[in-house]
Amino acid sequence: RKVIIVGASHGGHESAIELLDKYDDVDVTIYEAGDFISFMSCGMQLFLENKVTAEDDVRNFAPEDIEKKGGHVYANHEVTAVHPDKKTVTVKDLTNDSEEEVSYDKLILSSGVTPKVLPVPGSDLKNIYLMRGRDWASKLKAATTDPAIKNVAIIGAGYIGTEASEVFAKAGKHVTLMDMIDRPLGTYLNPELLDILEPTFKDHMDLKMGVKIEGFNGTDKVESVETDNGDVSADLVVVSAGVSPNTDWLKGTVDLDQRGWIKTDPYLRTNVKDVYAIGDAILPYSIPAGKPMPIALATTARREAQYLVDHLFEAKPDQVFKGVIGASALSVFDYHFATAGLNQFSAEKNDIPYGTSFYEDSMRPAYIPEKDNPKVYVSLTFNPYNHQILGGAVLSKYDVTAQGNVLALAISHKMTLEDLAEQDFFFQPGFDRQWSLLNLAAQHALGLAR
Ligand code: FAD
């Protein structure tokens, strides 16, 4: 049985190791268009801040990790077409432009996404960078220490833009973080948590929010970003304003939605028999939303790959892919947060009725001095009728991000505020209060006075 995997990132890696570990008789080949196997963009900020062993170590796997299990990995090999009738793919060797046709029994697409280039005048000027993959990582790293780069404009204030802005602020650059939405991380967190984080952003950079990018000015290199509300000087621009799926090559063969995402059924099958798709190039089923939505995370790709491999050779899988929550964590300078499931923004966008609550406390009993007793904040998003928890986030200067995983568990098991309010959690004053943080946050959401 021959399985071809397109893309050597999280989805491709997980598919390959699951296949090689679970089956003895499967021939596994990964084709990767890039020249490096397999840079982990999740580790990019740590790399840019010199917190990793070496650039080439920031990877999911090295080819020999798969080869010693019996698989095959080809870098610089782009899959350019699928031929469903013959059950073959065309593979182009990018080092010499030669092509060959290779057969498969099963084909797994994990071709991911590419950051969008803004369709505005001047976007081909030098020093306009993206933040994904090893090539951009190397260029961004060089820019952090380039004395000619003084002003850095980051376009897009989501996770990646936040990471980029922190990197360049810490590197001593003057940073302007820009977005069309009105607050950094505005689509990720509820307003009360944004209120806490916003001053921290402002301490380290200029914010230019609620603006439309109209173009880039400069002769050879970029010199400024033009917006509908004035220009921003920039020797370097990092664009982190959305992504496009790497699916052009599938048009006419594999069904795509209007924006190019690969359409899959609940078993992660495409419209073409024996062709499956996972990772950022598809929209996964969200458990709290009850429908597919964009949740572009490595965690999602890996869970999809694991499910797919478990059921790949069943005529009809006995269970669907149960879906994901979308759990993530990030630091913003001194603050750390974790979030899981939906928030006010994503609930509204998906027409899901919601209520929210915000809880603020100190982490430990009041008799612990302030320096050892940081503030902790919890935001919950829930169904206002049956109190099912749809999402939640924790924030503190102390690392309470593991509580985000507790929320993820509660959300995925469709627990209610009442369940969380009474759930038995530990108490030890070295760590928490008599009732644990999430008990208190849920009790507060239910209006119980404490
Ligand atoms: P991708 O990672 O997009 O990789 C697709 C691969 O397929 C690419 O290597 C591409 O070259 C290759 N390819 C595409 N088309 C072809 C073709 N036709 N032939 C051959 N090869 C092809 N997620 C988290 O869970 N936690 C994090 O902390 C986190 N941090 C992130 C930080 C940054 C800066 C970025 C950019 C992303 C981060 N993510 C994080 C998201 C995570 O990286 C993605 O969700 C994950 O990489 C998706 O994996 P994938 O397999 O779908 O595809």
Q: Following DSSP, what letter does each residue of 152-183 receive, concatenated? A: EEEE--SHHHHHHHHHHHHTT-EEEEEESSSS
Q: Which of 297, 299, 405 for a ligand 1 pocket mutation test, highest count of atoms within 8 Å of Cβ?
A: 297
Q: What is the pLDDT of residues 262-308, one digit of tens each?
A: 999 999 999 999 999 999 999 999 999 999 999 999 999 999 999 99
d(CA 383, CA 116): 34
**Residue 163 predicted with pLDDT over 80:** yes
> What number does the ligand 1 atom closest to the CA of 249 have?
18
For ligand 1, atom 15: residue with the closest CA: 111
Taking the centre of ligand 1 as the mean of its atom positions, its distance from the CA of residue 351, in whole angstroms, is: 29
Per-residue burial over 205-225, b = 16 or more CB atoms within 10 Å of its CB, e = otherwise: bebbbebebbebbbeebbbbb
Q: What is the pLDDT of residues 316-355, one digit of tens each?
A: 899 999 999 999 999 999 999 999 999 999 999 999 999 9
Sign of CA dihedral 270, 274, 275, 280: positive
Q: Which two tokens stand for residue 11?
A: 């989805």
Query: Is ipTM > 0.95 here?
Result: yes
Q: Give pLDDT, residue 316.
A: 86
For residue 419, the one-letter residue type is D
Taking the centre of ligand 1 as the mean of its atom positions, its distance from the CA of residue 112, in whole angstroms, is: 5
**Residue 450 predicted with pLDDT over 70:** no
> What number does the ligand 1 atom closest to the CA of 38 have?
9
**Residue 449 predicted with pLDDT over 90:** no
d(CA 91, CA 171): 41
Which helix (H) or strand (E) segment holds residue 380: the answer is: strand 375-382
- Residues 6 or more apart whose CB falls under 8 angstroms from that of 189 comprise 197, 337, 339, 343, 379, 393, 395
> What number does the ligand 1 atom closest to the CA of 31 have?
20
Taking the centre of ligand 1 as the mean of its atom positions, its distance from the CA of residue 254, in whole angstroms, is: 20
Per-residue burial over 290-326, b = 16 or more CB atoms within 10 Å of its CB, e = otherwise: eebbbbbbbbbbbbbbbbbbebbeeeebeeebebbbb
Q: Say whether 10 is catalytic.
A: yes
d(CA 135, CA 36): 9
Taking the centre of ligand 1 as the mean of its atom positions, its distance from the CA of residue 298, in whole angstroms, is: 7
**Residue 237 predicted with pLDDT over 90:** yes
Nearest Cα residue to 23 out of 304, 275, 274, 313: 313
**Residue 414 predicted with pLDDT over 70:** yes
Q: Give me the helix-helix angle, 159-170 and 133-144, nearest 10°.
A: 30
Which pairs count as long-range contacts for 367-371, CB under 8 Å and 24+ apart, including other chains? Answer: 368/429
For residue 184, the one-letter residue type is P
* Half-sphere exposure for 388 (CA within 13 Å, toward CB): 16
Which pairs count as long-range contacts for 215-221, CB under 8 Å and 24+ apart, including other chains? Answer: 215/120, 215/121, 215/122, 215/123, 216/120, 216/121, 216/122, 216/123, 216/125, 216/128, 217/122, 218/122, 218/125, 218/126, 220/125, 220/126, 221/125, 221/126, 221/127
Nearest Cα residue to 155 out of 200, 204, 216: 216
- At residue 315 the predicted structure's pLDDT band, cuts being 50, 70 and 90, is confident
Q: Say whether 336 is catalytic.
A: no
d(CA 154, CA 209): 11
**Residue 234 predicted with pLDDT over 90:** yes
